[in-house]
């Protein structure tokens, strides 16, 4: 439902803001575009696949990235 609202705001903002020349609608289009991009999953995310055989053990440890 939120995705549909964002898409509607983006389309209406482009139509009324860019093509129609309305400043407030242009701002709505930009904000909706940023929201749409922010909701997109990252492209470099690969699923993690592990194969565990009988007798094997995996330890998963999460650490903060080094700066």
Give the start-to-end residue ranges of the domains of the chain. Answer: 2-39
CA-atom Rg of the chain in angstroms: 21
Question: Using one digit for the tens of pLDDT, what is the confidence trace for 17-32?
Answer: 988 899 999 999 999 9
Question: Using one digit for the tens of pLDDT, what is the confidence trace for 39-65?
Answer: 887 776 667 778 889 999 888 888 887
Ramachandran assignment for 55, one of left (phi > 0), alpha (psi -120 to 50 degrees), beta (any other): left
CA dist 48 and 62 (Å) reads 14
Torsion sign across C-alpha atoms 27, 7, 37, 39 = positive
CA dist 22 and 13 (Å) reads 9
CA dist 55 and 26 (Å) reads 60
């Amino acid at each position: 439902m939120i995705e549909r609202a964002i898409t509607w705001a983006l389309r209406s903002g482009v139509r009324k803001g860019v093509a129609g020349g309305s400043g407030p609608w242009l701002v709505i289009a930009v904000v909706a575009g940023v929201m749409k991009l922010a909701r997109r999953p990252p492209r470099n995310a690969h699923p993690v696949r592990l194969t565990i055989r009988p007798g094997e053990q995996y330890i998963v440890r999460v650490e903060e990235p080094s700066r």
